[in-house]
Amino acid sequence: MDFFEAQARAKQRTARLVVLFVFAVIGTILAAYLAGVLLLRWAGPADTGLSFNDSPVWDPDALAGWWHPRLFTGITGTTVIVVGLASLFKWLQYSSGGSVVAESLGGRRIEPGAVNPAERRLLNVVEEMAIASGTPVPAVYVLDDEPAINAFAAGLTTNDAVVAVTRGTLEKLNRDELQGVVGHEFSHILNGDMRLNMRLTALIFGILIIGVLGRTVLQGLRYVRPGRSKEKGGGAILIGAGLALMIVGYLGYFFGRLIQAAVSRQREFLADAAAVQFTRNPAGITGALKKIGGYALGGKMQSAHSAEIGHFFFAQAFGSFFGGLWATHPPLTERIRAIDASFAGEFFEPPERVDIGRESFVSAGLVPARPGPAAAPAVPPPLPPAAATAAVAAAGSLTPEQIAHAQILVEGIPAGLREAARQPENVAALLCGLLLADDPATRAGQRRLVAARAGAGTSPLAQLDALEPWLGRLPAAGRLPLVQLALPAVRRLPPAELAALFETLDELVHADGTVTVFEFALQKLLLRSLELGRNPAAAMVDFHSFAPLAGDLSVLLSALAQTATAAPAAAFAAGAGQLPLVAAQLAFSGTGDLAKLDTSLDRLARASPAIKQAALRAAAIVIGHDGHIAISEAELLRAVAAALDCPVPPLLAA
């Protein structure tokens, strides 16, 4: 799966969705107009007691006909305004990110220090998938009141995404099956389905609101007492108007549900196939689907809001009416046979078992982790140049090799650091500890900065002292994955604490007067991820051609060339050769100014996916020009990718 092609397809699907929505609105307008004409013909001037000669809406001379221009104009304008405002309201409600969706269904966020073995297992699987794909670790929720087997991913970008599973998923699936389900949801995260789902929900809500208004009018008339004849006629008109609104609204809702189902069904096959590709274990996802078919509840959700977001879920979450026309998911048998052609249609309920073959007691949370003997991290060998281009080509994808590599990276991080990364009360000290210099004098000054920035009642130096033995054992390749693990905890910090933390980190970075590649990468990864997590709308496209970005591309390639190779001019030229449309406008600056790079990356982040893809390919050529890639160079490439909102996985040696 190509990340950049997936983004382009998501944009095309969004355009088609808008077209379908426009047709649904047009149908709603026509139905409302027909209802209005019939209502007028049924009521007439005598029943309403109104003077048609003074009315701006309809013409009494044309009452016997079917065409009323002013009535049509009024209904059209009112419908567009009501539907538009309702859709905008729902979109703004969801603009805070995926957590809003999870919490609207009663989701409980799993805290990093969870001791429940099933919850710890889920966190481990999600973290491994995130690190393997190069995305920020999403928040993880469990729907405690849902005994069925189901899950969903929600969010506007990879930085505000959440993965939510039901209690039944935790209790009934083993690790392989859970990994298959999570892989399915990561497919939706990586290929742009989440944002499309949010838009689809907002648009359908806009159509539904007309029916809700009609139902509200009818409910209000229950309290109206009969009065004079004229008032009775007015009441009849109101009842007729309410019925018309409700019928028209739910007619539009019917077609909106058809759109929802049509958009959703085919993507489920693709996500199932992606989950198999990610894990190379077809039995995982097919086992989950067979259990859904074998249990009485299946994937059916109890929440009243499940139908509203039914297209988000892993499995059909509500009863499908009209012969399956509203089904947001293909039948289970079709999904299983698409993966396993030998499936004979037999669903079953596998026995519960301890999944010790794939997971240690420590990683499952059955026993607490214990510190091992201190050992200096081995210096990793440099990576081959092909590792960078392969990582860029793998943006937005997951392979079993990447997942296995992510598991190795996570297991290589000392247990004490993993726990600190998952706890908001310790994550600030951890990030500060990652920036402590080796030079004793500089390190002492940095420790004084941390102490001076501490809030009341905190003991940051004591936290640093507790983490230092672990930090000394942290492999260089585990530094950025550790920052990824820390992102959910950082997002939980109050705004004041977060602002103080970033100010402290900036002072620690500049304490020795220089900015290293890792320091730049850490700050850029944190700032960009948190910015998009708070404001997903910041991910916009302003540049569709290379020309306006020639200066920024020059800064990017120059900084990479100066940092990554002893022959920067030649490396720059090799990278520029990957951008033929703008190569003549690129100029090697001869400096590796990371401050300028920071500004240029902010502009490049607003470029189209095709420009980002070309820029990352050129960057990969630059850092591999000298025949090898050091860990610091790999970190810089991944920081650049994160700044461009492109999930590049950790570089593999082979």
Which residues does the annotation mark as catalytic? 185
> Angle 348-141-197 (CA atoms, 0-180°, nearest 5)?
85
Tokens representing residue 244 in the block: 């018309």
Task: Say how far apart CA 560 and CA 572 lie, in whole Å.
Answer: 8
Contacts 24+ apart (CB under 8 A), 322-330: 322/254, 325/257, 325/258, 325/261, 326/257, 326/258, 326/260, 326/261, 327/261, 327/265, 328/260, 328/261, 328/264, 328/265, 329/264, 329/265, 329/268, 330/265, 330/268, 330/269
> Angle 17-22-24 (CA atoms, 0-180°, nearest 5)?
95
- What residues are paired with 152 via a beta bridge? 164, 313
Task: Note whether 162 and 138 are within 8 A (CB).
Answer: yes
* All residues at 6 or more sequence positions from 579 whose CB lies less than 8 Å from its CB, including other chains: 546, 553, 586, 614, 615, 618
Tokens representing residue 609 in the block: 């996916």
> Tokens 């951008």, residue?
579
Residue 306: its H or E element? none
Strands 108-109 and 139-143: antiparallel
Residue among 596, 631, 632 nearest 516 (CA): 632
Beta-carbon neighbour count of residue 513 at 10 Å?
A: 6
Task: Note whether 544 and 608 are within 8 A (CB).
Answer: yes
Rg (Cα) of the chain, in Å, rounded? 29
Task: Say how far apart CA 259 and CA 549 lie, in whole Å.
Answer: 39
Tokens representing residue 626 in the block: 């000298």
Taking CA atoms, 303 is separated from 250, 264, 323, in Å, by: 21, 20, 23
Task: Note whether 478 and 423 are within 8 A (CB).
Answer: no
> Tokens 């942290």, residue?
474
Q: Is the dihedral of CA 409, 411, 412, 416 positive or negative?
A: positive
* All residues at 6 or more sequence positions from 333 whose CB lies less than 8 Å from its CB, including other chains: 293, 343, 345
Taking CA atoms, 3 is separated from 189, 393, 453, 610, in Å, by: 11, 8, 41, 10
- Distance of alpha carbon 510 from its chain centroid, rounded? 33
Strand arrangement of the beta sheet that strand 162-166 belongs to:
108-109, 139-143, 162-166, 151-154
> Tokens 């409700």, residue?
246
